[in-house]
Amino acid sequence: MHPIQKIIKAYKSGEHTGIFSNCSASEYVLRAVMRRCKAHGMPALIEATANQVNQDGGYTGQKPKDFFNWCQELAEIEEFDTSNLILGGDHLGPLTWMGLSETEAMSKAEELIRE
């Protein structure tokens, strides 16, 4: 069962539960998140914004697949079970591409979500 499904099931059973969520592209922060979640036996939800990671490299220089691979490497270093690593995106809409036309910005946002 997926970690989020386990959390939902526990919540619906009356447990006070949730998920630790962090939006960062900092190695130090991500490793700390994994250590903390590992210590508490919980999954880690790690997100990056479209400014940090996107199909053009974002300000971190990482494309979505690069970020995925990097997080997997960090999990290995921290001995964090990757089945408890959930990656997502935050603010993936057209805001990042405000300088483009509405159509172009939406196209970029859709491409990012696919990647």
Q: Which of the four pLDDT bands, split at 50, 70 and 90, describes residue 61? A: very high
110: which residues sit within 8 A by CB, 6+ positions away? none
CATH of the domain at 94: 3.20.20.70
Rounded to an integer, what distance in angstroms lies between the CA atom of residue 95 and that of residue 3? 30
pLDDT in tens, 67-83: 999 999 999 999 999 99
Domain count, the chain: 1
Q: 10 Å Cβ neighbour count for 4?
A: 12
* 21, 62 contact by CB (below 8 A): no
Beta bridge partners of 47: 23, 88
- The boundaries of the domain holding residue 46 are 3-114
